Amino acid sequence: MSTLDRIAALESEATAAIAASASVDALAQTRLRYLGRKSELPLLLRAISQLPPEERAAVGAAANRTRQTLEALVSAREGDLASGAISAAEALDVTLPGSPPLPNGHLHLITQTRREIEDVFLGLGFQIAEGPEVELVEYNFDALNTDATHPSRARSDTFYIDDETVLRVHTSPVQVRAMIAQPPPLYVIAPGRVFRPDNDATHAPQFHQIEGLAVDEGVTLADLKGTLLAFARQIFGDQREVLLRPHFFPFTEPSVEVDVSCFNCQAGYLRDGSRCPLCKGSGWLEVLGAGMVDPNVFAYVAEHGYDPERVTGFAFGMGIERIAMLRHGVPDLRLYFDNDLRFLGQFGAR
Ligand code: DAH
C-alpha cells in the first residue's frame, strides 16, 4: 500500500471512530489513537524525509490535510457531546418534585365514602353493577312497579329527556338491568349518580346513591336486617343497632325505612344532658330505604329466570352524600360540589 493510500485509509478509519465515540472520554481516547504524538499519522509525517524526493510534497500535503480534517471532526464531535450532556441535565424531569413542592391531592369525600361502602358489600359477597345515567322511563319507573300516576313521575320532579327517557332519579333501575343480564342467585350493589330537580341544603340536582339487590331462594326480611346491621356497624361503628320502620316504596313489599342508632350520643342525649344535635334527640339516624322485592318487579323480568313463585329478594337504596354528612357532620350538601379546598381538604388521605 502506498503512503498516500495508507493516509486515506487512516482518515476513513478515524472518521468512523470519531463518530462512534459516545462520550467526551471516549473521544479523547480516539483522538490520542489517531492524532496523538505517537500515533501513525505524525509518524508518517516525520518519516517523509525517507521518501523519494518527488513523493514528499504530495504525502506531506495529504497527511496535513487529513490531520486538519480529523482535528476539525474531533472538535465538532466534542461540541456535540458537550451540548448533549448539558441538555440532558437540563431536560424536564417530570419525576422531580415541583418547586415549591405541591401537596398530593386526595380523593373526594364522596368517592372515599362510596369505596368504603362498596368494600363492605364486596366483603359480604355482593358484586358491583352499573347502569346508565340517562335511563329509560320503563326501567326507571314502569319495571319498578311505579304507577302511572305516581308523583315522582311528574315533569316537575324528574328531568325528562323525552317521553321515554329521563335522567335516572335513583339507582333502582339498575336492579332491573342486573336481573335482565343475569339469572338468580343475584347479589349486586349499584353505585352511581342520580338526578332530581331539587336544590337546597339537603337536596342537590345531582347526587349519588348505592342500590343493593339480593335475589335467591328463601331470602327473608331477616337477611335484609342482618345485612344492613353488618353495613351499619362497619360504617358507623361496631356498637350500632338498626331499626326498621314500616314505609312505602312501589318496588318493595313490605317496605321499610332504616335507622341506625346515633353514634354521637346516648339515646338522644349528650353527656352533659343536652339534646343531641345530630339525631335531634331521637337516638336514631335515618340512613336508607329498603324492603322485600315486590313480586310485580319479578314478574316484569320473569322470562329472565325470576319466577316470583320461586325466588324472593331484598333491595335497598341509600344516598352517599347523606351517609358522609352524618359521619362527618357536614351541614350542607352543596359543600360537596362547591370545590372549596378549605372544605374538601379536611378529608385528606385516611
Ligand atoms: N329508590 C329509593 C329512593 O331513591 C330508595 C330505595 C328504597 C331503594 C327502597 C330500594 C328500596 O332498593 O328497596 O328514594
Share of the chain above pLDDT 90, in %: 73
Read off the pLDDT of each residue in 6-27 and give the average, rounded to a whole number. Answer: 89
Ligand 1 interacting residues, C-beta cut-off 6 A: 170, 172, 211, 249, 252, 289-291, 315-317
Read off the pLDDT of each residue in 205-213 and give the average, rounded to a whole number. Answer: 97
**pLDDT above 70 (res 278):** yes
* C-alpha cell of residue 247: 314505609
List of residues 6+ apart from 31 with CB closer than 8 A: 18, 74
**pLDDT above 90 (res 305):** yes
Instruction: Kindly report, residue by residue over 111-154, the tens digit of the pLDDT.
Output: 999 999 999 999 999 999 999 999 999 999 999 999 999 999 99
Query: Which of 188, 316, 318, 322 has the most ligand 1 atoms within 8 A of CB, as the residue to mutate?
Result: 316
Atom of ligand 1 nearest to the CA of 319: 4
Instruction: Kindly report, residue by residue over 150-176, the tens digit of the pLDDT.
Output: 999 999 999 999 999 999 999 999 999
CA distances from 162 to 91, 97, 185, 248, 250 (A): 54, 50, 35, 28, 23
Q: Are 27 and 15 in contact (CB under 8 A)?
A: no
What's the chain's average pLDDT?
93
Q: What is the pLDDT of residue 85?
A: 62
Protein residue with its CA nearest to atom 8 in ligand 1: 317
* C-alpha cell of residue 279: 339525631
Protein residue with its CA nearest to atom 3 in ligand 1: 170
pLDDT band of residue 254 (cuts 50, 70, 90) is: very high
Q: What is the pLDDT of residue 320?
A: 98
Q: What is the pLDDT of residue 94?
A: 80
Q: What is the pLDDT of residue 89?
A: 58
Protein residue with its CA nearest to atom 7 in ligand 1: 289
Protein residue with its CA nearest to atom 5 in ligand 1: 317
Q: What is the pTM of this model?
A: 0.73
Read off the pLDDT of each residue in 253-281 and give the average, rounded to a whole number. Answer: 96
Q: How far apart are CA 32 and CA 40, in angstroms?
A: 10
Q: What is the pLDDT of residue 349?
A: 65
Protein residue with its CA nearest to atom 9 in ligand 1: 290
Instruction: Kindly report, residue by residue over 57-113, the tens digit of the pLDDT.
Output: 888 888 889 999 989 999 988 888 887 765 665 677 788 877 887 778 899 999 999
Query: Which of 126, 135, 157, 172 has the most ligand 1 atoms within 8 A of CB, as the residue to mutate?
Result: 172
Whether CATH 3.40.50.300 fits 109-347: no
Q: What is the pLDDT of residue 54?
A: 86
Q: What is the pLDDT of residue 327?
A: 95
Cα(249) to ligand 1 centroid in Å equals 7
Read off the pLDDT of each residue in 317-330 and give the average, rounded to a whole number. Answer: 96
Read off the pLDDT of each residue in 192-207 and give the average, rounded to a whole number. Answer: 94
268-290 in b/e form (b: 16+ CB < 10 A) is: beeeeeeebebbeeebbbbbbbb
Instruction: Kindly report, residue by residue over 295-304, the tens digit of the pLDDT.
Output: 999 999 999 9
Q: Which of 27-41, 132-146, 317-331 has the lowest mean pLDDT?
A: 27-41
Atom of ligand 1 nearest to the CA of 291: 13
Query: Which of 249, 255, 293 has the most ligand 1 atoms within 8 A of CB, as the residue to mutate?
Result: 249
Cα(267) to ligand 1 centroid in Å equals 27
Atom of ligand 1 nearest to the CA of 171: 1
Cα(315) to ligand 1 centroid in Å equals 8
Q: How far apart are CA 237 and CA 233, in angstroms?
A: 5
Query: Which of 188, 221, 251 has the most ligand 1 atoms within 8 A of CB, as the residue to mutate?
Result: 251
Q: What is the pLDDT of residue 310?
A: 97
Instruction: Please write down the long-range contacts of 304-309, taking CB distance under 8 Å and 24 or more positions apart.
Output: 304/179, 304/180, 304/183, 305/183, 305/184, 306/179, 306/183, 306/184, 306/215
Cα(251) to ligand 1 centroid in Å equals 8
Read off the pLDDT of each residue in 251-279 and give the average, rounded to a whole number. Answer: 96
